[in-house]
Each structure stands twice: as C-alpha cells, then as structure tokens.
Structure 1
C-alpha cells in the first residue's frame, strides 16, 4: 500500500469518515471514471477489482463513465461486474439487454463525414505540435480522438497540452483533459450530457432521480462536469495532484491514489449502507 495523501490545507474536501448513512441510503448507482480512479498507473489491482465485486454484491450498480475507447468499454463490460460503460467522454454507451451487448450513441453525433473531420483535426495537431501523438488505443475508438499526454513517453508539457486543446477548439471540437489524454470529439456532449441521455433514453430515469440515486468517483480535470453535477461525489487521492488545474471538486476525497483510493471509497459506501 502506498503512503496516504494529506488533506491538510484542503478545507473544501471532506474526509470519507464524515460520510453518513443518510447520504448513501438513496444511492443505487455508482458512476465512476476508470483511468487513475479504478486503475493505478494503467493497471487494475486485485483490491480495485474486489472493490467492484463488493459494490455489486452489496446492491450497488456500477457504471463506468470514461474517456477511454469503446473497445476498452466492451472489455470492461464483459470482464468486470458493471452494468454499463459510457465510453469516449459520453459518445457511446455499451450495456446489456436480454443478455446481448447493445450500443447507445449520443443523439448529437452526426456520423456522416465524421471520419473525415477527425482526420483533418488529427493532421493539424500532429503538424502544429510535433511532440503530440495519438493514443496507442486510438484504433479501438469509434468517435473519440485521444492525444496521449501522460500514459506513454514522451510526455507533453502543460503548455503543449494547452496548444493541443486550442487547435481542437479551432476545428470546432469539444475537449476534455484527463490524467493521460486530451480527448476531442464532434458533438454536443460530455460525460455529464452522455450520462443524462443514457439514463433518460435507455434506463428511463430523469435528471432529478439520476442526481438522487447516483454518486460519482473520479480523479482528474475531465471529471469536473460530474463533480459539479452529482451532489454526492468522491475523488481518489490523485485529485489533489490536479488542484491547480481544477475549479470544481468532489465532495469527499479518499486518502489514497488510484485503485487503493477507489477501494477505500467503495468500503465507505458499503459500510454506510449497512449502517
């Protein structure tokens, strides 16, 4: 186990020990980011996987909400005890219905000509920021363009990350910066909007019920749209590494980074529910 992070000087974040049974009582769904929230440095630890099983076995339905590819989403859905995986920052959700894996695509995506627009954006970024590169799993993405800045060397500086974001905006793309990628897309959606659409169109749950029945776990700037939207939100300790880049923070924070932090959050939720 790694050393716990200190919450000293972070008065805006609550310690998990303050989580009450009343807050957890209405929660049915645990929405969670994946990279650096469930995983640690790109790997899934036994403790983090056990935390997913523990949540499922204690009545929580886990839905991953990730900037990761639809290809990874398909793997998570098949291998992990999760109900659905909202992939590519809200573009597509993979879920099971009657034993069959289905795809839900956000209604704002115009599929005709999408590949051509994406290629023009990719060419511009790789030309104007020579150090930039596509994510190694880009081949597994349906609608998202992921420029790697932190998962594989060489890593980009904050200035270079900002340049990539500006080029994407110039081409009319939406963006989100995670702990490892700059994600870009063409469509009116993000993690929040993708979640709202999936819950309404597929699960038949409106926004008011969604916010009451869900909590959210994350670690990075691209989780801010969920931290500010879902009243009961959690950050693994990694979120403290991004304090200078963030405006919206989770309500609670764990003492550990990545998967260790996720396990601590899962344990707190289960313990509060039992009380």
Structure 2
C-alpha cells in the first residue's frame, strides 16, 4: 500500500464517482460524524457520484439512500440495491423473489443453533431482522473484537454447513449464495448508470477497510483503505493501492479532500 499522498493528481481529477464501504470507513464508533457528512455532500456537489457498498441490511439502505444523498446503496454485500430513478422515486433490485428469500431465511435460521454449538457466546447481529439475503453474527459491533482465529473458525463452520461466508470489521455473514460487493457494483454501474466495467475501473475509486472489501480492492486500481485496514490485512486476499493516515471516518475525509483538491 502506498500513502494516499502518492495517488496521482491526474487520476483523481478524472474520477467520475466513488464507491465506499460504510462501517469503520464512513463511520467512527458506529456514527456518521459531521465532517463525513460534509465530505459526502461536497463530493456530490462537485459532480461526482457517491455509491455506498455495504454489508449492512437492506432496510438500513432505504433511508440511508436519501438521508446521505447517495446516488445508490448496495446492501448485504450485494443482496439488494437501491437508487433514485425518474421523478425522484426510489428503485430497487433484490437477489431473488420473495418466496425464495423466505426459504433461504428458514435455512439460515436453522444455522444459528449449529454455530452456537461450536461457539456458545456467538450472537446474531442486532440488525438481523432488517436483512433479506444473509444472516449476520456479531464479531465486533457490540462486543470486543473477536480474535482472528475465532472469526476464521466461525467462517469455516458456516461454509461446512453449505453456506457462503464473509466477514466485515463487525459482522460474520452467512448467505445462501456468494454475494459480492464487486459483482453487485459492476452490475449496478452497467445496468443503472450505463457505465461499463472497463470505464468504471478507470473512473471510480473505492474506499474500504476489511475482509468483505477484498474483491473491491483487487478490482479497482484506485482503491483506498482507511488506516484501520492494516488490522485486517492478514484476512485480505488483496490490499488496497493506497492507505490514509487516519482511521475510519477521518480517513474517508482525507480521501474526499484529496479528490476535491484535484478538481
């Protein structure tokens, strides 16, 4: 990873948009601070698209879309997506129909006692009722962060039961299919905004911090990790090209300032 200061000015100037994780990238201790909200607004006012790509639940994404003035929000690592369409109406996309989602939910709920048999203290995430595609377990949101070896064991157990697994900085996710931030972002940019992947890789930056961001880091040449990404490097198959000095929301503000200074 190179320091953010080494990100070429001409590349920043040519950006069309920013894709960003939310937890521990935009947020600090779970909160969107005033400087982050100001940075998001300044990026939008400069003409850039701002798209959130998060592991957070579908029914968080809906209000965030308007409250934070995102151009789109991809939730649950790709299980759903929301954007503002014609006449200011919210549009949505889900990974499967309602009947299939209900069947998947029953199978995921049956996974809970299996995991607790191996990890008795493991708790379902508080936001689980707001999810439509995956089931999340708390590994660092309302508890001290679990050791890397424990998280790896949880993910392995999820996979042994036939589900797909990934982890963010706060949640371990179990899903009926391989939801992927990168694949979902590629589809959304192409189908909704008419931006092909080759163009997106040149004209969009990504900002993130943890394990479920690895494919985004690998795919986008202009990928930036906020400084707390260093804690997750052992779990990442690919590191971001650049890294900020500050952690969490302050790191995102660094990225926004660097982009805005070039325009």
TM-score bracket, normalised by the shorter chain, equals: over 0.9
Mapped pair 1:269 → 2:259: yes
In 1, the alpha carbon distance for the partners of 2:234 and 2:226 equals 16
Question: How far has the Cα of 1:243 moved from its partner?
Answer: 2.7
1:167 aligns with 2:157: yes
1:186 matched residue in structure 2: 176
Mapping of 1:32-47 within 5 angstroms? 32-47=20-35
Looking at structure 2, the residues matched to 201 and 171 of structure 1 have their Cα atoms a distance apart, in angstroms, of 34
Cα deviation, 1:182-218, whole Å, max 9, x if unaligned, reads 0121123311111122223322322212212211000
After TM superposition, the score normalised by the length of structure 1 is: 0.89
CA contact (8 A) 1:108 1:189 kept: no
Asked if the contact 1:106/1:197 (under 8 Å) is kept, the reply is: no
Instruction: Name the stretch that deviates more: 80-89 or 150-159.
Output: 150-159
* Cα deviation, residue 74, structure 1: 1.2
Unaligned runs of 5+ in 2: none
**Is the contact made by 2:13 and 2:259 (CA closer than 8 Å) also made in structure 1?**
no
Runs of 4+ displaced beyond 6 Å? none
**Among 82, 86, 92, which residue is 1:94 paired with?**
82
Q: Which structure shows the higher helix fraction?
A: 2
2-structure distance, mates of 1:196, 1:220: 19
Equivalent-residue separation in structure 1 for 2:259 and 2:239 (angstroms): 19
Contact 2:101 2:132 in 1 (8 A): no
Which 5+ residue runs of structure 1 have no aligned equivalent? 1-12
C-alpha displacement of 1:122: 2.3
- Say if 1:106 and 1:194, in contact at 8 Å, map to a contact too: no
Could you tell me how far apart the structure 2 residues matched to 1:23 and 1:170 are? 43
1:145 aligns to what? 135
Give the match for residue 239 of structure 2.
Answer: 249
Q: Distance in 1 between matches of 2:180 and 2:238?
A: 15
Cα gap change, 1:173/1:258 in structure 2, threshold over 3 Å: closer, same or farther? same
| CA displacement, residues 10-43 of structure 1 (integer Å, 9 cap, x when unaligned) | xxx2122222232123321100000000001111
Which residue among 195, 207, 212 is the counterpart of 1:222? 212
Structure 2 distance, partners of 1:237, 1:157, is 19
**What corresponds to 2:196 in structure 1?**
206
What is the RMSD computed on CA atoms of the aligned residues? Answer: 1.8
**Residue of structure 1 equivalent to 2:116:** 126
Q: Counterpart of 2:84 in 1: which secondary structure?
A: strand
Paired with 2:252 and 2:3, the residues of 1 have a C-alpha distance of 14
CA-CA distance at 1:178 after TM superposition: 0.8
- The match for 1:5 is none
Structure 2 distance, partners of 1:108, 1:163, is: 32
Match of 2:95 in 1: 106
Q: 1:53 to 1:166 in 2, by over 3 A?
A: same
Deviation, 1:54, is 1.0
Q: What is the distance in 2 between the residues matched to 1:186 and 1:138? A: 15
